[in-house]
Structure 1
Amino acid sequence: MIWRREYTHLTTATAEAVWKRWTTPEDWAIDDPDLREATFPVPVRVGAVGRVVNHGTPPQKIVFTELQPGFAMNFRIGLPGASLSFPHRMQATPNGLSVTHAVEISGPLAPVFRVPGRPLHRGRAARGGATGHDERPRGFGRDRHRMTAHLCNNSRE
């Protein structure tokens, strides 16, 4: 079974700027205020192991499973009987760069980790900068999308 939530945002940022944020561990805590720190080797490679520490939780091991510069990044956290993945995608469009962040829980115990009717992660919703939209994504990883809003407001990075 797979449970998935995703959020897509249009930005004026370049693919290079988004890729830099995705692959710079120091930027992760800026983009997600619930995250205390992220550590992983730079330059990151498929199979690289790192860790993330949310405020008030023990460290979690992450493994990078996909890295396609300027297009896609994914990492995984192992759970008992399930796997938590964070696929990231970007694609150029005539109106700007479309950036998608997602979370997937898969495995036989995936339903145990999904909490129906309530987000798994709480925090401030992303605010659309250059697009003029006030996007309020629902579900897991809302604060991870602050990166997109940050890039919209600072598109010359």
Structure 2
Amino acid sequence: MTFEHTETATTSATPDAVWALWSDPGSWASWDPSVESVAFEGHFAEGAAGTMVLAGGIEVPVVVELVEPGARFLDRLDLGDLHIRIDHVVTAVDAGAEVSVNTVIEGPGADEVGAMVTADAPQALAALTALAESTS
């Protein structure tokens, strides 16, 4: 079973301002209501592994699968037979940046989990872009 959800926003913030927040996992809890904390072993880079604590104190392993500095990163959370991949892309547009977050969940119960995982996506993207705008 597969679930997919994409959330996109345009912001006056620069792509660099968005990237600065994305590449600082310590900031994720400040703009994503579903995240309590994130800790990676080492730097934010391709192959980095760590732990994400989701709202409610749920700890899950997280791995950064892909990094295109300043433009894109893909992270993966594995919950047994359930796999969550979140692809984050920022591109320059005339007045700032377009920010897109695509979530793909595969495994048993993907539809139910997907609805829960992406419920806060609009708020997270709005908070991310507002914070990026305040630093641009």
Question: TM-score, normalising length from structure 1?
Answer: 0.75
Task: Find 2:115's aligned residue among 116, 119, 130.
Answer: 119
Cα offset for 1:121? Answer: 4.0
Mapped to 1, the partners of 2:88 and 2:122 lie a distance apart of 13
Larger gyration radius, structure 1 or structure 2: 1
1:51 corresponds to 2:51 = yes
CA RMSD of aligned residues (A): 2.3
Identify the structure with bigger relative contact order (alpha carbons < 8 Å, sequence gap 6+). Answer: 2
Cα offset for 1:3? Answer: 1.6
Structure 2 counterpart of 1:23, one-letter code: S
Structure 2 counterpart of 1:113, one-letter code: A
The aligned counterpart of 1:149 is 130
- Determine what percentage of the aligned residue pairs are the same residue: 24
Q: Is the 8 A contact 1:76 1:84 kept in 2?
A: yes
Count how many residue pairs are aligned between Structure 1 and Structure 2.
135
Cα distance per residue 1:26-47 (max 9 Å; x no partner): 2101011332211114531211
Could you tell me which runs of 5 or more consecutive residues in structure 2 were left unpaired when the two chains were aligned.
Answer: none
The runs of at least 4 aligned residues of structure 1 exceeding 6 Å deviation read: none
Could you tell me which runs of 5 or more consecutive residues in structure 1 were left unpaired when the two chains were aligned.
Answer: 123-138
Counterparts of 1:40-119 in structure 2, within 5 Å, are 40-41=40-41, 43-107=43-107, 109=108, 112-115=109-112, 119=115
Q: Is the 8 A contact 2:3 2:110 kept in 1?
A: no
Q: Is the 8 A contact 1:25 1:39 kept in 2?
A: yes
What secondary structure, in the 3-state scheme, does the structure 1 residue paired with 2:46 have?
A: coil
Higher strand share: 2
Structure 1 counterpart of 2:124, one-letter code: R
